[in-house]
């Protein structure tokens, strides 16, 4: 019996995989580390590092990765890295069947039939495993309905749009890509504090999109009563138009086919990073690459399914995207519990944007999970990685929690280093100065905040109200 997953089976295949990784680096695909993915765990298995392999398989199993679940059963069956344990092998194979790999059930029955142990020992092992990992638990806590139609609250909508400029060098060379941004919307409907989450290729389309989004305007059916945090945007830059597109596509098609063949192999071998990138490409049908990729992934839900596979393989970017989609209602309904669970997984993997999002969600007073002290922990973690909005909100939270003035000032200064004229930060500075009876300094800071907010077309309501109190 062997591992069911597709993986390098000999030295030649392993060498090819290493060459693939080199190709990925060349194309700047390695945006952040993967805690554990199926390919890495499988390579560890074939190299005889059974402890590492089982540890990573177990991490993936907790995310509902059926291949990892099956592979743990194989390791218990053969005694790889531990003593043979037919009962535990039986349990893990049954669990793999619960997750959809029905033929694993036959394997479990065969093990029980051939073993001298009593049947009850096998069922006890299975029951014990289900207390930690089960399909029911995965279904309740993580599984999204990928086939459901999105249901979004029309709380705000874009009323003014500036299209980003396609960089001339990128267009002339048939270069395509995407940018993932998050930003806030204030009471005026203005976009503020844009965060670059990820992009491909790096440093190609980032600035054109950010410069455009800064000028966007949002409206609401009624007057916007509060700021909106973590608006997410995945914007695609494609050359799908005109003769220039046709020329670039014809010029690149041959090389694309070769490269895409390698990407398909890597995705099917369980490389979570590659699965994430392919999911992004498949989310638009206007890429050169996506036109070829769709020959292999033809389902309408292929992009979402690959994203989920990547998330179950431990890739933090994908976990966060799945979580954000669930919180936004992309899978039929807003599911806060499942959304926060995925965001938490990404945050625990060290993804700064997920850490910030988790902190923000825990500060929302309309939900029962409001927990400012837990929020502080995650904001601190994101701020330590240089996340500006985390630095901004951490300073505000410390002020709200009546922390010592020195602690607030330190957090405030840390945020001001990234934006010394930020209206919200200057207003917070004024409030801190007021507490310390520095009224004239408070007036100066508040007035500076007001002037800057006007220059940025941001809401001045809170600043004006504070100035009225001071005067």
Instruction: Judge residue 375's burial from the number of C-beta atoms within 10 Å of its C-beta, 0-12 exposed, 13-18 middle, 19 or more buried.
Output: buried
Residues in the chain: 471
Residue 80 counted as domain residue: yes
**Enclosing H/E stretch for 364:** none
pLDDT exceeds cutoff 60 at 278: yes
State the Cα angle at 164 between 158 and 166, rounded to 5°: 150
Q: Are residues 190 and 285 in the same domain?
A: yes
Q: Are residues 200 and 283 in the same domain?
A: yes
Provide the pLDDT for residue 220: 67
- Domain encompassing residue 299: 157-312
Provide the pLDDT for residue 39: 87
Q: Which residues pair with 182 in a beta bridge?
A: 195, 232
Contact 261, 281 (CB under 8 A): no
Residue 150 vs residues 192, 242, 313, 334: alpha-carbon distances, Å = 26, 32, 24, 9
Contact 191, 214 (CB under 8 A): yes
pLDDT exceeds cutoff 50 at 448: yes
Which residues, at least 6 apart from 7, have a Cβ–Cβ distance to it below 8 Å? 38, 39, 42, 43, 45, 46, 269, 270
Residue 445's pLDDT band (boundaries 50, 70, 90)?
very high
Q: Are residues 351 and 284 in the same domain?
A: no
Higher pLDDT, residue 86 or 29: 86
Provide the pLDDT for residue 226: 64
Higher pLDDT, residue 118 or 120: 120
Structure tokens at 236: 């695609």
Provide the pLDDT for residue 124: 96
Residue 336 counted as domain residue: no
Contact 409, 416 (CB under 8 A): no
For 197-222, what is the mean pLDDT?
91
The residue whose two tokens read 């046709």 is 246
Residue 272 counted as domain residue: yes
Residue 262's pLDDT band (boundaries 50, 70, 90)?
confident
Q: Share the mean pLDDT of the chain.
A: 87
Instruction: Give the CATH number, domain containing residue 437.
Output: 1.25.40.10
Q: Are residues 45 and 184 in the same domain?
A: no
Q: Are residues 376 and 259 in the same domain?
A: no
Distance (Å, whole) CA 253 – CA 248? 8
Q: Are residues 286 and 363 in the same domain?
A: no
Residue 16's pLDDT band (boundaries 50, 70, 90)?
very low
The CB-side HSE value for 30 (13 A sphere, CA atoms) comes to 10
Q: Which residues pair with 297 in a beta bridge?
A: none
Q: Are residues 282 and 367 in the same domain?
A: no
Residue 5 counted as domain residue: no
Q: Are residues 177 and 134 in the same domain?
A: no
pLDDT exceeds cutoff 60 at 5: no
Structure tokens at 151: 């249901």
Which 8-state DSSP code applies to residue 371? -
Distance (Å, whole) CA 287 – CA 266? 20
Contact 17, 39 (CB under 8 A): yes
Provide the pLDDT for residue 13: 27
Q: Sign of dihedral through CA atoms 100, 321, 347, 22?
A: positive
Higher pLDDT, residue 264 or 142: 142
Q: Give the pLDDT confidence of 219-249 residue by residue, as tens digits.
A: 865 555 567 888 999 999 987 555 555 666 6
Domain end, chosen from 87, 106, 141, is at 141
Structure tokens at 209: 């999109």
Residue 318 counted as domain residue: no
Distance (Å, whole) CA 23 – CA 273? 13
Residue 173 counted as domain residue: yes
Q: Are residues 285 and 169 in the same domain?
A: yes
Provide the pLDDT for residue 11: 26
The residue whose two tokens read 């979402």 is 304
Residue 459 counted as domain residue: yes
Higher pLDDT, residue 418 or 21: 418
For 189-206, what is the mean pLDDT?
94
Residue 42 vs residues 10, 23, 45, 404: alpha-carbon distances, Å = 12, 20, 5, 51
Q: Are residues 380 and 427 in the same domain?
A: yes
DSSP output for 10-72: SHHHHHHHHHHHHHHHHTT---S--S--HHHHHHHHHTT-HHHHHHHHHHHHTTT-HHHHHHH
pLDDT exceeds cutoff 80 at 253: no
- What count of other Cβ atoms lies within 10 Å of the Cβ of residue 201? 16
Q: Sign of dihedral through CA atoms 316, 321, 326, 332?
A: negative
Smallest CA-to-CA distance from 353 within 208, 198, 234 is with: 198
Structure tokens at 152: 């979004």
Provide the pLDDT for residue 293: 86
Distance (Å, whole) CA 315 – CA 30? 11
For 451-457, what is the mean pLDDT?
95
Full-model pTM: 0.87
Contact 219, 157 (CB under 8 A): yes
Distance (Å, whole) CA 219 – CA 157? 6
3-state secondary structure of 173: coil
Q: Are residues 357 and 431 in the same domain?
A: yes
Provide the number of structural domains found in the chain: 3
Q: Cα-flanking dihedrals φ and ψ of residue 282, to 5°? A: -75, -15
Provide the pLDDT for residue 276: 95
Domain end, chosen from 141, 172, 195, is at 141
- Which of 47-61, 225-239, 382-396, 434-448 shows the lowest per-residue confidence on average (mean pLDDT)? 225-239
Higher pLDDT, residue 436 or 11: 436
Provide the pLDDT for residue 224: 58
3-state secondary structure of 192: strand
Provide the pLDDT for residue 249: 62
Domain end, chosen from 290, 312, 334, is at 312
Q: Are residues 362 and 293 in the same domain?
A: no
Instruction: Give the CATH number, domain containing residue 299.
Output: 3.30.2420.10
> Over pLDDT 90: what percentage of the chain?
69
**Enclosing H/E stretch for 185:** strand 177-185
Provide the pLDDT for residue 28: 30
Residue 337 counted as domain residue: no
DSSP output for 396-451: HHHHHTT--HHHHHHHHHHHHTT-TT-HHHHHHHHHHHHHTT-HHHHHHHHHHHHH
């Amino acid at each position: 019996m062997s591992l069911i997953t597709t993986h390098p089976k000999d030295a030649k295949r392993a060498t090819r995989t290493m060459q693939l990784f080199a190709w990925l680096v060349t194309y700047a695909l390695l945006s952040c580390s993967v805690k554990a993915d199926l390919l890495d765990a499988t390579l560890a298995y074939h190299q005889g590092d059974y402890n590492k392999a089982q540890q990573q398989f177990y991490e993936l199993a907790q995310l509902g990765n059926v291949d990892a679940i099956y592979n743990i059963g194989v390791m218990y069956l053969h005694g790889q890295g531990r003593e043979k344990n037919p009962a535990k092998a039986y349990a893990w194979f049954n669990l793999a069947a619960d997750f959809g790999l029905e033929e694993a059930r036959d394997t479990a029955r065969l093990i029980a039939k051939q073993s001298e142990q009593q049947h009850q020992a096998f069922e006890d092992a299975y029951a014990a495993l289900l207390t930690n990992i089960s399909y029911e638990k995965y279904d309740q806590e993580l599984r999204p309905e990928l086939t459901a139609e999105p249901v979004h609250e029309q709380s705000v909508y874009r009323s003014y749009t500036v299209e980003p400029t396609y960089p001339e060098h990128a267009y002339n060379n048939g270069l395509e890509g995407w940018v993932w941004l998050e930003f806030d919307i204030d009471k005026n409907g203005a976009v503020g504090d844009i965060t670059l989450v990820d992009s491909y290729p790096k440093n190609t389309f980032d600035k054109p999109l950010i410069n455009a989004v800064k000028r966007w305007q949002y409206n609401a059916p009624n007057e916007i009563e509060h700021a909106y945090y973590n608006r997410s945007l995945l914007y695609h830059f494609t050359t799908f138009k005109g003769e220039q597109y046709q020329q670039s596509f014809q010029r690149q098609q041959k090389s694309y086919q070769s490269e895409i063949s390698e990407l398909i192999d890597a995705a099917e071998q369980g490389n979570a990073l590659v699965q994430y990138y392919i999911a992004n490409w498949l989310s638009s049908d206007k890429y050169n690459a996506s036109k070829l990729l769709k020959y292999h992934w033809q389902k309408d839900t292929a992009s979402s399914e690959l994203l989920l596979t990547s998330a179950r393989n431990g890739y933090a970017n994908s976990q966060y995207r799945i979580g954000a989609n669930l919180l936004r209602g992309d899978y039929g309904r807003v599911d806060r519990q499942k959304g926060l669970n995925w965001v938490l997984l990404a945050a625990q993997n060290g993804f700064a944007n997920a850490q910030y999002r988790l902190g923000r969600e825990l500060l929302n007073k309309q939900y029962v999970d409001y927990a400012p002290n837990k929020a502080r922990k995650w904001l601190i973690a994101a701020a330590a990685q240089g996340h500006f909005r985390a630095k901004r909100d951490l300073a505000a939270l410390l002020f709200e929690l009546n922390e010592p003035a020195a602690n607030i000032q330190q957090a405030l200064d840390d945020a001001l280093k990234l934006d010394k004229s930020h209206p919200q930060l200057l207003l917070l500075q004024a409030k801190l100065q007021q507490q310390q009876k520095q009224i004239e300094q408070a007036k100066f800071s508040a007035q500076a905040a007001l002037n800057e907010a006007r220059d940025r077309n941001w809401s001045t309501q809170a600043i004006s109200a504070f100035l009225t109190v001071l005067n």
